[in-house]
C-alpha cells in the first residue's frame, strides 16, 4: 500500500515559514490528457514556493498554436483542479506568459519544464519572463507525453507497456510517430516509462488513517486517468466528513483480460502515479485483485456482508473507450499537430544555433 495526502481546492493561502510572505508560483499550459508527467511538473513547481496557481489555455488558443486538443477546456480545468499540489486554477490563461500575467496574480515567478513551448510563429512563449529573471525550470518527466499516449491509443497491440514484448509493428510506429524525420527530437520522441521507488515516494505522503476517519475502498483500472475517474473519486470522497480513500489498481494482465484490445493504455506503475496525484485519494493498493478475495474482505471488515457496500454514479459518461474513439476519429488532425510541433521546434533550434554561432558583439535578433 502507498499512502497519499489530499487537500482542498481553493484552500486559504498560508504565510511562508517564519511568517514571511508566501511565495506564489505560476504554471501554465494546455494540460491536455493530464498525466503523471503534468502532475510531476506541478509537484516540482509547488515545492519551489508556498502557493501554486495554474493557468490553463482555452481550446481556441491551443488550436491556434498547436492543433486541436483531445479534451475540452472545461474537462481540462477540472482535471488540473484535482491535482493535489494545485492551490488555484486560472481558466483561459494567455498562451504567451507575460510579466503582466505574473503581476496580475501576484506571482513571484513562473515554472516550466525543460522542453520548448512555441507560439504559432515559432517564438518562445516564456521569452519575456526569462529575460526579466522571473522564470524557473523543472525537470521533464521522461517516458510520457501526450504524443506518446496518442500513439499508444492508435495501436491495436498490448506491447506499449512491455519492453520485453515490443512487437515490430509498435517499434516501427514508436520510432516514427513522435520524432522528426531524422529521429533526433528530444522533446517529442516516444520513450518507455521506467518506474523507481523514488518516483512513488515523491508522489505519496505516507499518512496513516487517523482516529475518526472513515476508510473507503474503491478499485478499478483507472486507465488514462480522466475526468470520469475524478468525478467518481470526488463523490466517493464526499461520502464522509473525514474520508480516507483507498484506491485499488488491477494488474495489467487482469485489465487486459476483462477489457481486451490494447488495454490498459498505461501500465500499472503509470496508473499508480496518476491516481496518487489525485487530491481525493489517500492510499493506493498496487495490484489489487479484480475479484474481492476473502482475505481482502477480512482486511476491510467484510464491507458487502456487513451491508456497507454501495455503488456510486460519477455523473460522467466519459470512459477510456470514448477517449480512444476521440483519438481515432481525429487521427489525421493529431498526426498533423505533431508534425507542426516538430517543424516549429526544429526551426527554433536552428535559429538559436545560428544566433549562438554569431561572432561576439554581432547583432542579436529576437527569435
Q: Is residue 45 situated within a structural domain?
A: yes
Q: Give residue 85's domain range.
A: 24-138
C-alpha distances in Å from residue 280, one per residue of 7, 84, 124, 216: 8, 8, 35, 11
Residue pair 88/81 in contact (Cβ under 8 Å)? The answer is no
Residue 293 inside a domain? The answer is yes
Q: Is the pLDDT of residue 167 over 60?
A: no
**367, part of any domain:** no
Flag the least confident range among 151-160, 248-257, 348-357. 151-160
Contact criterion met (CB below 8 Å) for 101 and 126: no
The overall pTM is greater than 0.75:
yes
Q: Is the same domain home to 323 and 311? A: no
Q: What does the pLDDT look like over 73-88, one tens digit per residue? A: 999 999 999 999 999 9
Average pLDDT over residues 339-357: 72
Is 208 in the same domain as 292? yes
Instruction: Give residue-wise pLDDT tens across range 93-105.
Output: 999 999 999 999 9
CATH of the domain at 96: 3.40.50.620
Residues 153, 243, single domain; the answer is: no
C-beta atoms surrounding 314 within 10 Å: 16
Question: Is the confidence at residue 67, as pLDDT, over 70?
Answer: yes
Condensed to tens digits (0 to 9), the pLDDT of residues 154-166 reads 764 445 444 444 4
Worst-scoring range by mean pLDDT, 7-21, 177-191, 196-210, 316-330?
Answer: 177-191
Kindly state whether residues 216 and 176 are assigned to the same domain: no
Q: Are 54 and 165 in a shared domain? A: no
Number of domains in the chain: 3
Calpha distance 284→296 (Å, rounded): 14
Q: Is the pLDDT of residue 282 over 50?
A: yes
Please check whether residue 54 lies inside any domain of the structure. yes
The predicted model gives 313-337 an average pLDDT of 81
In terms of DSSP bridges, do strands 2-3 and 283-286 run parallel, antiparallel, or are they unpaired?
antiparallel
Q: 159 with 252, same domain? A: no
205 and 287 co-located in one domain:
yes
Answer whether residue 354 is part of any domain.
no
Co-location of 115 and 248 in the same domain: no
**In this structure, are 184 and 162 located in the same domain?**
yes
Amino acid at each position: 500500500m502507498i499512502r497519499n495526502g489530499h487537500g482542498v481546492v481553493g484552500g486559504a493561502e498560508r504565510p511562508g515559514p517564519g511568517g514571511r510572505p508566501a511565495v506564489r508560483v505560476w504554471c501554465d499550459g494546455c494540460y491536455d490528457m493530464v498525466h503523471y508527467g503534468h502532475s510531476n511538473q506541478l509537484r516540482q513547481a509547488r515545492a519551489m514556493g508556498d502557493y501554486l496557481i495554474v493557468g490553463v489555455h482555452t481550446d481556441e488558443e491551443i488550436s491556434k498554436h498547436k492543433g486541436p486538443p483531445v479534451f475540452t477546456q472545461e474537462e481540462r480545468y477540472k482535471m488540473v483542479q484535482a491535482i493535489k499540489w494545485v492551490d488555484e486554477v486560472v481558466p483561459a490563461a494567455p498562451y504567451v506568459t507575460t510579466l503582466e500575467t505574473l503581476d496580475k496574480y501576484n506571482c513571484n515567478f513562473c515554472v516550466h519544464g525543460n522542453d520548448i513551448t512555441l507560439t504559432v510563429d515559432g517564438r518562445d512563449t516564456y521569452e519575456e519572463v526569462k529575460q526579466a529573471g522571473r522564470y524557473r525550470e523543472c525537470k521533464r518527466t521522461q517516458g510520457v507525453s501526450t504524443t506518446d499516449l496518442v500513439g499508444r491509443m492508435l495501436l491495436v497491440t498490448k506491447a506499449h507497456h512491455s519492453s520485453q514484448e515490443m512487437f515490430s509493428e509498435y517499434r516501427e510506429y514508436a520510432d516514427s510517430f513522435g520524432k522528426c524525420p531524422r529521429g533526433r527530437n528530444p522533446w517529442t520522441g516516444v520513450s518507455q516509462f521506467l518506474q523507481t521507488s523514488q518516483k512513488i515516494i515523491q508522489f505519496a505522503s505516507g499518512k496513516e488513517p487517523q482516529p475518526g476517519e472513515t476508510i473507503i475502498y474503491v478499485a478499478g483500472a483507472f486507465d488514462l486517468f480522466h475526468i470520469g475517474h475524478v468525478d467518481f473519486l470526488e463523490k466517493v470522497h464526499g461520502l464522509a466528513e473525514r474520508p480516507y480513500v483507498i484506491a485499488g489498481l488491477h494488474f495489467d494482465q487482469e485489465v487486459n483480460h476483462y477489457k481486451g484490445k490494447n488495454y490498459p493504455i498505461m501500465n500499472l506503475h503509470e496508473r499508480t502515479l496518476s491516481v496518487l496525484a489525485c487530491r481525493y485519494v489517500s492510499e493506493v493498493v498496487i495490484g489489487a485483485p479484480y475479484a474481492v478475495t476473502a482475505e481482502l474482505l477480512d482486511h476491510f471488515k467484510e464491507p458487502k456482508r456487513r451491508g456497507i457496500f454501495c455503488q456510486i454514479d460519477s455523473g460522467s459518461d466519459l470512459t477510456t473507450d470514448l477517449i480512444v474513439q476521440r483519438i481515432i476519429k481525429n487521427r489525421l488532425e493529431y498526426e498533423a499537430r505533431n508534425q507542426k510541433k516538430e517543424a516549429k521546434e526544429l526551426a527554433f533550434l536552428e535559429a538559436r544555433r545560428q544566433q549562438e554561432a554569431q561572432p561576439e558583439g554581432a547583432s542579436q535578433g529576437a527569435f
